[in-house]
Amino acid sequence: MAEERFYGYRKPLKGRLQVPGDKSISHRAAIFGAVAHGTTTIRGFLRGDDCLSTLSCMRALGADVTDDGDLITIRGTGFEGLKEPESVLNVGNSGTTIRLLCGLLAARPFFSVLIGDASIHRRPMDRVLLPLKKMGADIWGRADDRYAPIAIKGRTLEPAVYQLPVASAQVKSALLLAGLQAKGKTVLTEPGASRDHTERMIRAFGGRIESEGQAHTLIGPQSLKGTDIRVPGDFSSAAFFIVAALITPGSKLCLTSVGINPTRIGMVDLLRQMGADISFTNEQDWNGEPAADIVVRYAPLKAATVGGALIPKLIDEIPIIALLATQAEGKTIIKDAAELKVKETNRIKTTVNELKRIGADIEETDDGMIIYGHPDQPFSGGSADSCGDHRIGMMLGHRQPKG
């Protein structure tokens, strides 16, 4: 039966659902709440391990954080009120936490040490340490500053005029946090647009930053003011349900109050190009972040080529896009995505290897992958491994046993 041959769910997916809060925005709300003056409340904070690591680091740095299970309240200390932590700061698995805290702490007049799990200790930190050293930071990492653990002896920094070699929101945000504390004009230029949640959050906390094209300018030092933040649903979480609906005939889902920041939803452009039926309703502004209900209906898809400036706008969605492409007619090419090699795992390898193990027709390239879509053929099935990477685990969760 056609339905049994299909790699989707057995029954159409119908209904409305609300995905958890945006991870990138939650991290930033916790950090900015702590370094602002006055009270910040956060509604919709993502209580996943990564964002909880950020919260516990901010507590260790002196912020008064309470969580009543719904609302998080932070009584901020201002940048100058942060205090030397009594122990190492453990970021767990969170690359955003460790990189943003490098920028924040390099300018605070005390000693701090950042550690994380085994995956964090393998990820490149020189991309943040080198520009911070140019600003005058005393900051060191293992293996010639390439990796964590990281030790920081905070001091007054010079502002940065820096051209980022890769489009990375974590690097940009670390340098903006340092620049907010340095005296003078910091100008950061990116090779392509990475997510701009930090810029939007600086403004939400009463700070000033100008963005023109890919150049971001701020004049420090700045003092920020606590505010009330509502975190929209995470588009990267919504992406898994969007794909589930797109590969299961008869489906129609409405994902409510999802963040649709243009620097995050490159996948929507790609899906439309592939023939997807996806639309936004009920558009709103949440502290300078656009949010909307996303309506998606099943549609047969065709392959596409994706690369260039679109990649940073869908980088976290590539594992689930690869799965989707196995169900799209034709050859999908993902290129210019070498950054995937330095995520929680090497996501080019883990995506290709694990999808191959369950029968997908997919091959690895230097900077991406090629997927041959066969919507009418079932996967052979088999066992696969998330390799400890949440986005690979969520992607494999769509696996439907054959027959």
Catalytic residues: 316
Q: Which is nearer to ligand S3P, 27 or 200 (CB)?
A: 27
Residue 26 sits in the site that holds ligand S3P (CB under 6 A): no
**Torsion angle of the four alpha carbons 153, 155, 157, 162, in this order, in degrees rounded to the nearest 10:** 10
Read off the tokens for 12. 């159409």
- 336 conformational bin, left if phi > 0, alpha if psi -120 to 50, beta if neither: left
**Which of these ranges, 37-45, 104-112, 148-156, 167-175, lies near ligand S3P under the rule CB under 6 A?**
167-175
Q: Which is nearer to ligand S3P, 106 or 128 (CB)?
A: 128
Q: Which is nearer to ligand S3P, 45 or 298 (CB)?
A: 45
Listed residue (281, 276, 282, 314) closest to 296, CA to CA? 276
Distances (CA, A) of 50 to 101, 234, 382: 13, 14, 30
Residue 188 sits in the site that holds ligand S3P (CB under 6 A): no
Q: Which is nearer to ligand S3P, 26 or 227 (CB)?
A: 26
Here's the x/- map for ligand S3P, 353-382, by CB under 6 A: it reads as ------------------------------
Q: Which is nearer to ligand S3P, 168 or 181 (CB)?
A: 168
CB of 341 to ligand S3P, least distance (A): 11
CB of 195 to ligand S3P, least distance (A): 6
CB of 330 to ligand S3P, least distance (A): 27
- Please tell me the count of residues contacting ligand S3P according to CB under 6 A: 12
Identify the H or E element spanning 43: strand 37-43
Q: Which single residue is written with the structure tokens 């005390």?
A: 110
Q: Which single residue is written with the structure tokens 């099935």?
A: 381
**Which of these ranges, 58-66, 162-170, 237-245, 281-289, lies near ligand S3P under the rule CB under 6 A?**
162-170
Looking at residues 84 to 123 of the shown chain, list those that interact with ligand S3P (rule: CB under 6 A): 96
Residue 169 sits in the site that holds ligand S3P (CB under 6 A): yes
CB of 181 to ligand S3P, least distance (A): 19
CB 225 within 8 A of CB 38: yes
Triad 349, 259, 102: Cα angle to 5°: 60
Question: In this structure, what DSSP letter does residue 21 have?
Answer: B
Q: Which is nearer to ligand S3P, 316 or 389 (CB)?
A: 316
Those residues whose C-beta lies under 8 Å from the C-beta of residue 353, and which sit 6 or more positions away, are none
Listed residue (366, 356, 367) closest to 396, CA to CA? 356
CB of 197 to ligand S3P, least distance (A): 7
Among 13, 24, 180, 276, binds ligand S3P (CB under 6 A): 24
N- to C-terminal Cα distance for the chain? 9
CB of 6 to ligand S3P, least distance (A): 31
State the Cα–Cα distance between residues 329 and 343, nearest whole angstrom.
Answer: 29
Strands 138-141 and 147-153, how do they pair? antiparallel
CB 20 within 8 A of CB 45: no
Residue 170 sits in the site that holds ligand S3P (CB under 6 A): yes
Q: Concatenate the DSSP letters of all residues of 130-195 into one string.
A: HHHHHTT-EEEEHHHHTEEEEEEE-------EEE-SS--HHHHHHHHHHHTTSSEEEEEE-SSPPP
**Which of these ranges, 164-172, 227-235, 262-270, 281-289, lies near ligand S3P under the rule CB under 6 A?**
164-172
Q: Which is nearer to ligand S3P, 263 or 327 (CB)?
A: 263
CB of 316 to ligand S3P, least distance (A): 5
Read off the tokens for 403. 């027959």
Looking at residues 262 to 321 of the shown chain, list those that interact with ligand S3P (rule: CB under 6 A): 315-316
Residue 345 sits in the site that holds ligand S3P (CB under 6 A): no
Q: Which is nearer to ligand S3P, 248 or 351 (CB)?
A: 351
CB of 329 to ligand S3P, least distance (A): 29
Q: Which residues form the interface with ligand S3P (CB under 6 A)?
A: 24, 27, 96, 168-170, 173, 194-195, 315-316, 339
